[in-house]
Amino acid sequence: GQNIDQPTEMTATEGAIVQINCTYQTSGFNGLFWYQQHAGEAPTFLSYNVLDGLEEKGRFSSFLSRSKGYSYLLLKELQMKDSASYLCAVRDDNYQLIWGAGTKLIIKP
């Protein structure tokens, strides 16, 4: 079967750095997405990786290793507004997105 694993919950301190991991086992691979979802709101697109390596976008970076079936989202200089759930999704061979259950990130002052 297809599976996306990510931690259920993480806690970090304002101003610090946090890394959210995602491992996947899917039938094929056509890109990996990270989305942010604040409570009661729509998921919003953060990043897309299709080749191995690191993609940096401001305070957020996303890394992909296709051979290991692994990605992480790195958040630097954490702010209180970064408290949200972070969703990892992989596009499979049928071009459908397979979603993880999300990681709830709690930022403490």
Partner 1 sequence: ETGVTQTPRHLVMGMTNKKSLKCEQHLGHNAMYWYKQSAKKPLELMFVYNFKEQTENNSVPSRFSPECPNSSHLFLHLHTLQPEDSALYLCASSQDAGGGPDTQYFGPGTRLTVL
Residues making contact with partner 1 (CB under 8 A) = 4, 8, 30-31, 33, 35, 40-45, 48, 50, 87, 89, 95-102
Give the integer Cα–Cα distance in Å for 66 and 42.
28
d(CA 64, CA 60): 14
Among residues 88 and 107, whose Cβ is nearest to partner 1?
88
Q: In angstroms, what is the minimal distance from the CB of 8 to partner 1?
A: 7
Nearer to partner 1, 14 or 41 (CB): 41
